[in-house]
């Protein structure tokens, strides 16, 4: 008989700032489509965020604002389990256990540890070094088959696989061994001010945030880098005209038009017409997302209900996994 049970997808989302157009077009929009095919868990990983110093009030605010933005982008809380990491204590408990099954050398090779250490030289703490073990716990708690990641996060999924296999070899079949899920489609959105770099919140001038006003979005696109082509020809040539190619990619993603159709639409019109048109298309694409997110942000009881129910659903699964793990390693069973 064919197994019709859905496979599990897990992703952890760090509340490090407002979401932007690159997040939406490159990842979140694809995640929405996955909820019919997979059982999906999307976690606001606030425990990971404190490896660098946070303003407590800002962290609390960002965690709920980001949840609102994800729902506004189409992640239906009835189809997806949406929750805050620190509300499910099994993450921290399994994270400690997996620390004891993760090798020092493996953690030392983590690229993000090296990068974050360089950026936070005054605060190279133990959590910054061992957080890949917590990330492995995040994934393994839910028996996740797949973890949607970009190339920069693939290393962490590989470590989670290694830890799962090591644990299974010692104690028998305990964890599902996860695989990175890299979607076949997904726009790679670059900075409007520097088209050689990905769009990032660290470059506000080149980054379009989901909560930007229409005026802010319009201004950013009018100032977007194109090229020194005196003809101002709208033509898709990534190597020759990376700025124009990026704008065409954005326009294609929000309108569904092909590059050929875009070239025809703007033939002979120049960048002075093209850039505002891209901005207008993005404004209309993001308008319902921004308006719905703003509505939810002002409805704190609604958001509390979502993350409360999500934590309850997540903990039901996480508790069963942790109970299996603690029994395997020899802990005395909890009396309650």
Q: Which residues contact 138 (CB under 8 A, 6 or more apart)?
A: 10, 12, 43, 45, 85, 91, 95
Tell whether the torsion through CA atoms of 16, 21, 23 and 28 is positive or negative.
Answer: positive
Exactly one of 6, 79, 154, 201 is catalytic; name it. 201
Q: Are 11 and 42 in contact (CB under 8 A)?
A: yes
Q: Could you give the CA distance from residue 319 to residue 249 in angstroms, rounded to a whole number?
A: 44
The phi and psi torsions of 185 (rounded to 5 degrees) equal -120, 150
Catalytic residue, chosen from 116, 220, 241, 285, is: 116
116 in Cβ contact with 52 (< 8 Å): yes
Q: Annotated catalytic, 116?
A: yes
Identify whether 300 is a catalytic site residue: no
| Rounded Cα gap, residues 304 and 28, in angstroms | 22
Per-residue pLDDT of the chain (336 residues; tens, 9 = 90+): 334 589 999 998 888 778 899 989 988 888 888 888 999 999 999 999 988 888 999 999 999 999 999 999 999 999 999 999 999 999 999 999 999 999 998 988 887 776 776 677 777 878 888 999 999 999 999 999 999 886 667 888 999 999 999 999 999 999 999 999 977 656 689 999 999 899 988 889 999 999 999 999 999 999 999 887 666 789 898 888 999 999 999 999 999 999 999 999 999 898 999 999 999 999 999 999 999 999 999 999 999 999 999 999 999 999 999 999 999 999 999 888
Tokens describing residue 36: 């019919």
Longest dimension (CA), the chain: 77
Strand runs labelled E in 129-288: 146-148, 179-181
Is 269 annotated as catalytic?
no
Set 7, 79, 198, 257: catalytic member: 198
């Amino acid at each position: 008989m064919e197994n019709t049970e859905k496979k599990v997808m897990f992703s952890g989302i760090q509340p490090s700032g407002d979401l932007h157009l690159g997040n939406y077009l490159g990842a979140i929009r694809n995640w929405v489509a996955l909820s019919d095919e997979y059982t999906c868990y999307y976690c606001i990983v606030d425990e990971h965020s404190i490896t660098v110093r946070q303003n407590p009030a800002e962290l609390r605010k960002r965690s709920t604002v980001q949840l609102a933005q994800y729902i506004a982008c189409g992640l239906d809380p009835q189809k997806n389990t949406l929750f805050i990491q620190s509300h499910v204590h099994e993450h921290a408990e399994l994270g400690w256990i997996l620390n004891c099954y993760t090798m020092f050398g493996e953690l030392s090779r983590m690229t993000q540890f090296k990068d974050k250490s360089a950026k936070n030289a005054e605060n190279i703490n133990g959590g910054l070094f061992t957080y890949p073990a917590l990330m492995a716990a995040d994934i393994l708690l839910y028996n996740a088959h797949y973890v949607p990641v970009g190339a920069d996060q693939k290393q962490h999924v590989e470590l989670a696989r290694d830890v799962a296999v090591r644990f299974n070899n010692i104690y028998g079949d305990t964890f599902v061994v996860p695989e990175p899920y890299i979607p076949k489609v997904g726009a790679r959105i670059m900075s409007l001010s520097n088209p050689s770099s990905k769009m990032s919140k660290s470059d506000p001038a080149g980054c379009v945030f989901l909560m930007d006003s229409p005026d802010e979005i319009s201004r950013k696109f009018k100032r977007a880098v194109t090229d020194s082509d005196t003809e101002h020809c709208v033509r898709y040539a990534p190597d020759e005209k990376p700025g124009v190619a990026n704008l065409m990619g954005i326009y294609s993603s929000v309108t569904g038009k092909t590059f050929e159709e875009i070239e025809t639409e703007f033939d002979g019109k120049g960048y002075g017409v093209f850039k505002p048109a891209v901005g207008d298309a993005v404004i209309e694409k993001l308008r319902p997302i921004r308006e719905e997110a703003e509505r939810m942000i002002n409805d704190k009881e609604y958001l509390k209900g979502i993350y409360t129910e999500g934590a309850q659903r997540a903990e039901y699964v996480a508790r069963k996994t942790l109970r299996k793990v603690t029994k395997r390693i020899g802990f005395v069973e909890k009396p309650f």
